[in-house]
Structure 1
Amino acid sequence: MIGGLGFGQLVIFKNNNMIFKFRKNVFTFWRQPFVYFMAGAAVLLGLYGWIFLVPNFGASPSRADVSDNVSGWAWAVRQNDVAGINVESGIGWISFNCTDRGVCGNSNYGVNINNNWGSASAGNFSGYAWNEEVGWIAFEKALGDPPDNYAFNSNCMGTCNSSNNCIACFNRIPPSGSTRGKVYGWAQILSLGDDGWIKLRDSSWSDDQGVSIDLSTNQMHGWAWHNSPAGGGLGWISFNCADISGVCTNSNYFVQAEVNSPPQITSSSWSNGDPCSQPEGVLYAVLSWTYQDLDGDPQTAYQIQVDDDNNWSNGLLFDTGQCGEAPPGTSIWGSECQGSGGSTQYNLHQATAMSLQYGTTYYWRLKVWDQWGLDSGWSATAQFTIPFHEYPDPYFTYWPKTIHANLPIQFDDQSYYYTDTNPNNPVLCADNPTHCSWSWSVTPATDASISGPTNPNPDITFFDDQKTYDITVSVSDVSRGYTCSTSITIGDTEVRYHTPTKWEETKGKN
């Protein structure tokens, strides 16, 4: 049983023509004024034909939901009068979501596009929009089948027909070189019944003339058309002021459809490479990130900015600019770009316009684009600090050169460490042994013994002179904890170097 449901319009049809509309009073079930009204309506019904009660703004369809992903405003400008609607400039604004008017809670309504792109109903519209003059505009099946009997369904990504109450769909795959996917099908002005069908696209129209959605902005564009078979019609309905020259300056309207999820940067990191193998004086900073897109769209462009503070409004030390193709057909590739638009790593030390300095903290952020030109926005600011000086150079000699079982071999450290930013000013650890620390190891460990594995010059005794052994020393500078290692292989009466320089010695960096 329904009680207290308000209605704001009485619309009377005869032979499919709307001949009368009354919208001033609100009639309520189970109240005395409504009884008198129904008695009069019965007389009109006998004289003319069908009577429709169109709900007022406070009574919304039960389907409507504030979580719908379409919002904003379209503008309908009447070209010819619609019988019974005397509006000099058309029906005016069409609201696609209750949030547009701040009436959610009292009247929850909205239009939704299914953006689960792997589903059988991907891209299908549902829900209702609202206009003050004609009332509810359905984007799902409400009062019968559309005029083309769902012929548009062949253009949809999923199934859109009477089986799932669908009368409109969005195809997310744009034409080549475009970022705008097309909308197909119909909407229906419920108060006009069979005369209320609004065409969203026609095969005879240009791509820009029908309704579309720009995946780079999630804004709807183009025009829909209403032409009543009874004569007249609302004419063209505009979905974006940008499609009419000069209009946005005074009336910045558009319909927003969140059908393309923006790409995300789920994590970012940096590395200074391998400072133990890099040439002295070459400072590395490798920036990396993880790209994610809920729609499965690939990354096609990136941009990186670097500064010496986290105030991005007062100038930058470095900016790659956009690197890649976004949107399609728009390729930007500056002199500081590396890899490809889909790269998720950038070697800052290779940038010609960026000179890294020892002991300096830098701040960086990045932005990425999907294949349609929709960007992630700037990531959270991250930071990295270049080492204060070079890492140690591990280096040692030993004697004798031949293994004899159970006889010790003397290993002598000749490593260097650094104390300042001058890469050409190393200091011998032996001259300042308290500034360095050592860690020696042998593999296999069970076949050898080290006398003092943390000493700079240990003796190592090998138990089997028919085996080969890997000898490793790790050297750290005590002040910063920077550590590098080097190894050799000895055995079978010969020394085998991983990176041979001389038979008597090995060094971690050249």
Structure 2
Amino acid sequence: MEARKRRSMRALALLYCFTVLLFLGGGVALAGNMSNQPSEHWAWNDAAGWIDFTNVTATPPVLQGYGTSSAVGDVAMDCATTSIGNICATNNFKVANDGYGNLSGWAWNDAIGWISFWCGNIAPADCQSSNYQVTIDGAGDFHGWAWNDSVGWLSFNCDHSGDGGTNQCGMSSYKLKTTYVPGLPAQSGVLTSSIFDAGDPVALNFVLWKGTLNGLASTAVRFRIASSNCVNGKTNPPACNDAGDWQYLGPNGSTTDYYVPSGPNAPSAIDTRDHNNVRYYRYRIFMDSDVFGNTTPEVTDVIINWSP
């Protein structure tokens, strides 16, 4: 991959004079949310040349619109917003944005075919032989390379010093820059329940919550469960005076994983290897916001089912 990148950079050096003329021509009225600065809505490929992504919107969950190239034509970012309209019924594809600026999936061009934005589109293991991905940083700048089997690498920024290449901006200054800025990691609200007494030793079967995720895939409700035969969480009944304390565990018996019901009213089975023949129990609930921190799940009730 590095040899291909070096060839791309040599080609860019040969085209330096053309680049200067191109970028001094002034801005273009935007239909997407790319920058209108002359050098901030272009990608480069050795065979296709300059690709203008003025008409692209980079807001998650899917990039919309299409780039244009005088050599190969339109580069569609999703099937619903091509230059000829919605073609998803016959050709379903998209370039996805996970909200943190990590792009994946496929763009399409009639002349050269599929353009991959992440090495793991087919299988993450493929990244071991050729590790690449197009990303958007906190300033809205695109970075990295996309791959096409016919024409090779598409470069989205002249500075590849952070993704296995070098900074060639002194020869030809270009990049894609969007007004969209990736969100911060989701924020979690955490609540620890009071102690519940089953009266006698029981087996904990499942945890279930009622409420709503508020319609966003990035919100989540997660649990860890703790149980004991001591009301104070100790591990040496009936004395209950050792150094132990409540251990909040996930399904693998670990303090680092979670029970994650698929949604409200969906039970998540509790591993009875950790919670069998116990009298006292409690839970810790984690409520994750969307990637922008604007929306959180609403939980109205939590049910832990048990049996004697």
> What range describes the TM-score normalised by the shorter chain of this pair?
0.3 to 0.5
- TM-score computed with the length of structure 1 as normaliser: 0.27
Which structure is higher in strand share? 1
Larger Rg: 1 or 2?
A: 1
- TM-score computed with the length of structure 2 as normaliser: 0.40
Higher relative contact order (CA 8 A, sep 6+): 2
